[in-house]
Each structure stands twice: as structure tokens, then as C-alpha cells.
Structure 1
Amino acid sequence: MSKRVRRNFSPDFKAKVAIEALKEQLTLSELASKYQVHPNQISEWKKQLLASGASVFEGSKRLHLYPFSEHNS
């Protein structure tokens, strides 16, 4: 018997599918058929996106407009 190969999906693919699931224009079953992924997997990616989506907007509180100091000669 041959071993089943586990598929790896890129973060971009996961985000694309999860965002499409959030839009609710297609059912999970329709998305699963469209992308050849189990509906439970799509639900999991959707939960992960909702849980960590705010982290996209985190970062440095200060905006560095002038990263290099200017010297007057």
C-alpha cells in the first residue's frame, strides 16, 4: 500500500480561500469543491484568519519618515 502524501498549502492560498469563505457568496461545500479542500479545513482557516487578522495592523507605533539623520555641514 502506498503512503498518502500530505498536501501543503501556501499562506496566500489559505488567505484567499478564507476570505472567500468570509464573503459567504458560496457555501463551504461549494468552496471545497472549487478548491479541492475539505470544508472543515476551510472553516479552520477562516477561524485562524478571524483570530489573527488584527495582527496585520500591528507594528511600529512610530512612523519613521526620516530614517537617516541629516548632518549640516
Structure 2
Amino acid sequence: MPPNQITEWKRQLQERAADVFGAGGALSNEPPVDPKPLHAKIGQLALENDSLSGALDKAGLLSANK
């Protein structure tokens, strides 16, 4: 990596940070996302994963590289 590469990246970020991260507080056209159904789905998948993991472990099919 050329010695001045990081300096160049830093300069580019400073010039374009607003484009990358958005102009402070700009509103999105997308509707807000309700996190409740997402949290419910995460909980459901976690329970299914634990259940399947336990069943595989009981059957001796779960690999040791968990």
C-alpha cells in the first residue's frame, strides 16, 4: 500500500462524508419500521435454533465446531 493512500482516503471521506452518512437529520422517504415484529421473529428463530441444536446434539449429529 502506498504511504499516502490513507491520507488520500481520509481526504475523500472528509469531502464526501455527508453523501455517505447522510446530511445530518435528513428525513427518509421510507416509512418508519416497527421493531416489534422483527424482535418477535428474532425470538422465534432463536427458539427454533436452540431446539434444533438440542435435537441434533441429542442424536449425536451436532459437530464439535459449534
TM superposition score category, shorter chain reference: 0.3 to 0.5
Largest Rg, 1 or 2: 2
Normalising by structure 1, we get a TM-score of: 0.30
The structure with more helix, counted as a fraction of residues: 2
Q: Which has the higher contact order (CA 8 A, sep 6+)?
A: 1
